Structure 1
Amino acid sequence: MHGTIFSLLKRYVQTQYDHAAWVRLVEAAGLTSGDFSHKEVYPDEHLYALVGQAAVAAGIPPGELHEKFGEYLVPDLMYMYKRFVKPEWRTLDMLEHTEHSMHNQVRREHPENSPPVLNVQRLNENEVLIDYVSPRRMGGLAVGIVRGLAAYFDEADRIDVQPTTSEEGQRVQIHVRRTP
C-alpha cells in the first residue's frame, strides 16, 4: 500500500482523536514506527493491522472504519488527481471515469502501486453499478469514497450507495443511484 494512504490514516486518527491515539495504534498493531513516507510502498498487512486496531479502539467494525476513512480521503484524492477531473463532472461522472482517468495513470506512473480495478457500468443518467475488484478486500473503503465524493460534489442528500455483495470480498458490487 502506498505511503500516502498511511500518512492520511495517521492524519485521520490524529484529527478524530489525537497524536497519542496514533502512537497507541502503532504499538498495538506491532509496528516499529508510525511514520510513513509518501514515496514508499508498505505491506498491506500494516494497514490492516492499523485499521483493525483503530476499529477496536473506536468500538466499531473494521468495515465501518474503512468507510469513514474512505469518506475522509476524498478531498485529498480530489486534490491529488485534479488534473484528471473535468469541471463539469459530478459524483456519477467521477465514478464512471476513475478507472480510465486516474487508476490507469497511477499504474503507469507507479507500477508498484496497485489500485483496485473498477469496472463501472452506467445504467442510466442517474445510476451506476461499480464492480470493485481487489485482493486487498477493502470494499468498505470504496463505499466510503463514493459517499465522500457525493459530499464533495454537494450531492450527499441525493446519492444512495448500496453494496450489493459483502464489502469484505475480493469482488464487491456497489449500486449508486442519484435521485433527480
Structure 2
Amino acid sequence: MKGVVFNLLEQAVTDAHGADAWMDLIDAAGVDGTYTSLGSYPDEEMFALVGAASAALNLPPEAVLRWFGQAAMPMLAAKYGGFFEGHANAESFVLSVNDIIHPEVRKLYSGAGCPHFHFTHEPDGQLIVGYHSPRKLCHLAQGFIEGASAHYGQSVEVTHLACMADGNPICRLGVRWAA
C-alpha cells in the first residue's frame, strides 16, 4: 500500500485524537510508523493499525475504515483539488474514480494498487457500486463515498448488498443520495 494512505491515516488520527494517539497506535500495532508518501508498505501494516484502532476504540474494524474514509476526504480535496473540480455532486465525482482519479493516482504514485469499481444505475435511482480489490477494503470505499457526499453537501445512504468478506467475488454497495 502506498505511503500516502498511511500519511492520510496519520493526519486523520492526529487531527481527531492528537499526536500522542498516533504514537500509541503505532506502538499497539507493532509497526515502524515511518511512512513516506511515495513509498510502498505491506498491506499488513495498515491492517495492524486498523486492528489496533479497533481495539482501542472498541469499534469493529469496518467502522474504523469508514471513519478513516470520511476523515480523509477533506484532506484529499485540499491536496488534490483538481480531482474535485468540474463535479456538481458526489455521484459525478464517484463515477470518475476509474477513469480520472485512479489513472492519475497511478501516475503520481508508481505501483499504486487501486481497486476497480463497476457502476450500475438502477431504475429507482440507486447507484450500485461493485468494488473489487484483493485488500477487501470496501468499508474504506464506503467512507470515501460518505466523505465525498459531505464534501458536496449531500446526504447519502450506503448499504452493503454483498461483501467479499462473506465469500462473495466482489462487494456490492447500494448508494442513494437524497434528492
Query: Do they fold alike, i.e. is TM over 0.5?
Result: yes
1:87-106 equivalence runs, <5 A: 87-106=86-105
Which of these residues, 151, 159, 162, is aligned with residue 159 of structure 2?
162
8 Å CA contact retained: 2:87, 2:93:
no
Q: CA deviation at 1:128?
A: 1.3
Distance in 2 (CA, whole Å) between partners of 1:12 and 1:171 is 28
Partner of 1:150: 149
Matched, 1:130 2:129: yes
1:136 to 1:88, Cα distance in 2 relative to 1, 3 A? closer
Equivalent residue, structure 2, for 1:25: 25
Residue identity opposite 1:27 in structure 2: D
Q: Distance in 2 between matches of 1:142 and 1:125?
A: 22
- State how far apart, in whole Å, the 2-side matches of 1:125 and 1:86 are: 28
1:86-134 Cα shifts (integer Å, max 9, x gaps):
4343111111121111112323454410111011223359431110100
RMSD: 2.0
Query: What residue ranges of structure 1 are gaps of 5+ in the alignment?
Result: none
TM-score of the superposition, structure 1-length normalised? 0.88
1:81 Cα deviation from its structure 2 partner? 3.7
Between the aligned partners of 1:125 and 1:38, the Cα distance in structure 2 is: 41
Match of 1:54 in 2: 53
Greater mean deviation of Cα atoms: 78-87 or 66-75: 78-87
Task: State the identity %.
Answer: 27
* Partner Cα distance (1:4, 1:147) in 2: 20
Report the count of equivalent residues.
177
Secondary structure, in 3 states, of the residue corresponding to 1:164? strand
Contact between 2:136 and 2:165, CA under 8 Å: does it hold in 1?
A: yes
Distance of aligned partners of 1:84 and 1:9 in 2 relative to their CA distance in 1, 3 Å threshold: closer
Aligned position for 2:82: 83
Superposed displacement of residue 80, structure 1: 3.9
In structure 2, stretches of 5+ residues that fail to align are none
How far is the alpha carbon of 1:8 from its aligned partner? 1.3
